Amino acid sequence: MVECVAQQAVQDSMVYLKWGLQVPDVAPQPKKGTEACYQFFFKHFQFPKIYQTIDVKGRMVLELMVNKRGEITDVKIARGIDVLLDEEAVRVARLLPRFKPAKLNGKAIPSVFVMPILIRLK
């Protein structure tokens, strides 16, 4: 059984500082909403075949760099589970549809969207 659970998206000012970015007034958001973003992610996420015979569970945290046009330009694993799962998460995150960009004083700015994910494979 595969279970991927969306965790509440987190916006933390320390993440912006780590990336060398300004803290926005309005954080970046998936255009169709956070739930649709997670649905897209889980629909396209493919578990490596090696995990068909072992139990895997854990929480990963992705950091998505969203530019001023709402495109995901970089993906980092802030907390990973395993190299193969992490690589697959990065692959799928790069496929996500455009976001509404972050705003500061009414202007679009580059920013980071933090995407926690809980994975259980039994």
CATH number of 82's domain: 3.30.1150
Six-digit token string for 69: 């046009």
Number of structural domains found in the chain = 1
Residues 89-106: pLDDT tens digits? 999 999 999 999 999 999
SS3 state of residue 17: helix
Q: How many CB atoms lie within 10 A of CB 115?
A: 24
Q: Which domain holds residue 59?
A: 2-121
- For position 12, what pLDDT does the model report? 64
Q: For residues 66 and 111, is the Cβ–Cβ distance under 8 A?
A: yes
- Give residues with Cβ within 8 angstroms of 86, minimum separation 6: 60, 77, 80
Strand segments, DSSP code E, in 1-122 are 2-6, 29-30, 56-66, 72-79, 99-100, 102-104, 107-109, 111-121
Work out the average pLDDT over 109-117. 92
120 beta partners: 3, 57
Residues 24-75: pLDDT tens digits? 889 899 999 988 999 999 899 988 888 777 777 888 999 999 999 999 999 9
Q: What is the pTM of this model?
A: 0.83
Residues 5-21: pLDDT tens digits? 444 455 566 677 677 78
